[in-house]
Chains A and B, each alone.
Chain A
């Protein structure tokens, strides 16, 4: 395919997500995270290490900013000059937002990161050449680069510890970028099971991401956004957050609304697939 053919027939090759010509059919995986329920306990993050073969990099590499936590808890303080944080802290589980118009995808020189028909921002490890453009372009800083060959690094997976590695997930080697996949191994497993049984994936816990399954306060819901019966779909609808808008109608109301749903950096128009629900604080105390 020559460049000229590509440009001439661009519409055939380029599908505009999320409002484009090919709607997500039958799946669009999405999340809703309730920050009022989230306690910041880190269970999700450790569960992610367990599920997705994330290397423990150790103190020195962590200091260099080379931690590989696909899911991390960010902790913020109120900035109002009070002596004590007497409204507590604010916690945010941050992971790949699986953007529909992902800034990371357009800059990849080799097309290693791209969009799947079921709405995931995928990473193809054996296509990645390690330019790291995607990471610089990610507004959420949720892409993690393998600066080292962790499987052969001392004390990352020494004998016996390597037996825990999940055989459904690739162990990444030096020089490739990686990030949260929404537990694609679980998604594909459930999709294939459902397909062989001639049905769609159910919204009854048949498919859970590792972080969602562990979360002690059930703050994370995950499911098929195009299934009107799914909890995620209902949550997004009730909060009036539309996937394909970068400014929600409800936010135009003066003084805002009493709806808690929002997406981080929505105005940049990456159309993230994760809706957060605002943290709440009692006014009477």
Chain B
């Protein structure tokens, strides 16, 4: 029995179950133990560890925030390979390439191995005791308002601990920042459906009309969506094969798999959506008066002129949407990246409403009933707020975890300079990345395969679940620490009494799970040890009774106004599309060599950046493959090799994000260019999010030329008349009868 000198409500908050209506086992029979256990080294043989025989442990993939459950294969005490855990509703035993590379994050030779304190231009290795003491000392005499904590998206008990730590130092300045998170779409969904992230039932839809949502690549929960996509293609519920129409200005991997890929003038996605609604009305689809009024001006001729999509094609889409129900319309990253991104997304969501998809293919997701643990999703508006504060000299102490803003913010934001204004900067990192290099104190983290944790995925596939993260092997380096342990040590500096029962983060997590055993599906299990071991062995806590959020459909027609397509700027005539590759994303995984050598699915390029230019535009500018071109915006310029690519609007060019590191490690540093650096600071008018697609550029040849390093052969994507990948039309194929 816990002897506590604080009350029960505080205790719930300490452990992350605060603010909930869920019944906890009453105080009195909740046995809480400190739960100290040590991961045994291989030399002390365990009964489950036999040389040459693999053992498997379940955990959670941390390569992105989708929350896929993984099973690690461990032999002779080393984790060798990660597979998907079939029990998870999110990934059902599957993994993506990014997830596979998780072991290279763990075994990476460039990990930081000791706490580093800056002395002038160099770093000196110090002990953890000294590091903690230094933080304590630097926080003395500093008010809570003067402390800022920047993180990536985070959830689970780590978020609970962080919240409690911030509380203990009296600071409300937690900034959650994701460089490429779907923040505008979340806000638009909240308005249209009443929830930020509903469930998208791709597998139940017969037509998917996606406006730049790269759901097979890097959008939200790609492994889940990929499986749904496979079912959708086979034909849901005995129907014929599902049809995918993708609307975007630069082809993504999802666009490459579409039945019809429609190139649209950048930024006019919303206009096309309203045009489709208008045409649906003409086909007799019923809609409310305000919606009909809102789309009145969007007749086929005008929409066709604005977007570049032919009236004939719009007609075909409308017929398809009307005949094959239910359908599903998705608003993705390409649609939200403009100053009118919110309006674009609202117009697209309106289409779902008109088609009656809300409640069918757009459903409310199950919710983990512990708000303290719910994911803190990040956005660029948070980074802007932090940057403004830093610029004004508001913060004396800055913490940064799970983000690399020096790399991912536009150079025009001057984040690096503003960061220097904070007196004491602490960065928690696995690598000496661009942001860590600016820190005064760098604290080395355990890899995700060495650490404990809980995670609540933002996108819930079926029932609510809490994912468990556990070490898959002994720590590689003696002097790294898990973020949970660090936060626990820090919060103990402030609230020693409350956190005294927990020797370490493991003990804290164990106590937390056991405290709420009944709500976590352990009501039947009287023995705490058995329940705890069962939980670890499953790697997932399924909350079967969890409530689903309720959708509240509001007509999105109110206040909807889309700007005319912007005229071409004479000085900067091209639109820059910074593209998101499924493996490299915002650049945090670039130091994993499998991902550097994994060819980009569209261009097959490896180990470098490139700029995609449409053949027509390239011919006009006299550019051929391999020409080094200078791409300049108002905010900066970079030099990069050209790749002639048919899947892009002729008035746009595209450079992938994720490469162009100046630090981080041997596999990342010096490869490619970083388009974040030349982005103009244009923001979405409603949400204040950085509009990633609003940068206008010009390109010019430098006269240099290189051979593009890529996987495709000299004839590019030409089959030379051979039957290598033939195509079959659906009126011939019948997939529903296949095995």
Given contacts A76-B717, A280-B733, contact A215 B601 (CB under 8 A): no
Asked whether B601 lies within 8 Å of A164 as measured between CB atoms, the reply is: no
B276 to chain A, nearest CB (A): 13
Chain A interface, >50% SS class: loop
Instruction: Tell yes or no: B738 within 8 A of A by CB.
Output: yes
Bound form: Cα–Cα A90–B52 in Å:
41
Asked whether B712 lies within 8 Å of A155 as measured between CB atoms, the reply is: no
Bound form: Cα–Cα A67–B403 in Å:
32
Instruction: Tell yes or no: A92 within 8 A of B by CB.
Output: yes
Identity of the chain B residue whose Cβ is nearest the Cβ of A256 in the assembled complex = B732
User: Given the complex, which residues of B lie within 8 Å of A43, measured CB to CB?
Assistant: 94-97, 99-100
Given contacts A58-B607, A216-B94, contact A37 B727 (CB under 8 A): no
User: Given the complex, which residues of A lie within 8 Å of B729, measured CB to CB?
Assistant: 280-283
Instruction: Tell yes or no: B608 within 8 A of A by CB.
Output: yes
Bound form: Cα–Cα A167–B723 in Å:
39
- The residue that A46 contacts in the complex, of B100, B222, B254, B723, with Cβ under 8 A, is B100
Q: Which of B99, B108, B316, B725 has the most chain A CB atoms closer than 10 A to its own CB? A: B725
Q: How many A-B residue pairs have CB under 8 A?
A: 278
User: Given the complex, which residues of B lie within 8 Å of A235, measured CB to CB?
Assistant: 738-739
Instruction: Tell yes or no: A178 within 8 A of B by CB.
Output: no
Bound form: Cα–Cα A212–B11 in Å:
47
Identity of the chain A residue whose Cβ is nearest the Cβ of B78 in the assembled complex = A163
Residue-wise interface mask of A (222-263) relative to B, using a CB-CB cutoff of 8 A (1 in contact, 0 not): 000000000100110010000000000000000010101010
User: Given the complex, which residues of B lie within 8 Å of A85, measured CB to CB?
Assistant: 251, 256, 261, 646-647
A78 to chain B, nearest CB (A): 8
Question: What is the size, in residues, of chain A's interface with B at 8 Å between Cβ atoms?
Answer: 78
Given contacts A41-B226, A159-B109, A278-B728, contact A77 B735 (CB under 8 A): no
Q: Give residues 250-308 of B contacting A (CB, 8 Å).
A: 251, 253-263
Asked whether A45 lies within 8 Å of B739 as measured between CB atoms, the reply is: no
Asked whether A282 lies within 8 Å of B260 as measured between CB atoms, the reply is: yes
Given contacts A41-B601, A160-B107, contact A281 B259 (CB under 8 A): yes
Bound form: Cα–Cα A91–B216 in Å:
14
User: Given the complex, which residues of B lie within 8 Å of A75, measured CB to CB?
Assistant: 256, 601-602, 604, 712, 717
Identity of the chain A residue whose Cβ is nearest the Cβ of B242 in the assembled complex = A282
Q: Give residues 705-739 of B contacting A (CB, 8 Å).
A: 707, 709, 711-712, 716-719, 722-735, 738-739
Q: Give residues 185-243 of A contacting B (CB, 8 Å).
A: 210, 213-219, 231, 234-235, 238
Asked whether A87 lies within 8 Å of B260 as measured between CB atoms, the reply is: yes
Instruction: Tell yes or no: B223 within 8 A of A by CB.
Output: yes
Measuring CB to CB, which residues of chain B are less than 8 angstroms from any residue of chain A?
52, 75-76, 78-84, 91, 93-101, 103-104, 107-109, 216-217, 222-223, 226-227, 229-230, 233-234, 241, 243, 245-246, 251, 253-263, 316-317, 319-320, 476, 582-583, 593-599, 601-602, 604, 606-608, 616, 646-647, 666-667, 671, 707, 709, 711-712, 716-719, 722-735, 738-739
29 chain-A/chain-B pairs, Cβ below 8 angstroms: A36-B233, A37-B229, A39-B256, A41-B96, A41-B601, A46-B101, A46-B594, A49-B594, A50-B82, A57-B597, A73-B601, A85-B646, A87-B258, A88-B259, A90-B727, A91-B256, A92-B725, A160-B476, A165-B80, A167-B75, A234-B739, A238-B739, A258-B732, A260-B733, A278-B728, A280-B727, A281-B728, A282-B243, A282-B260
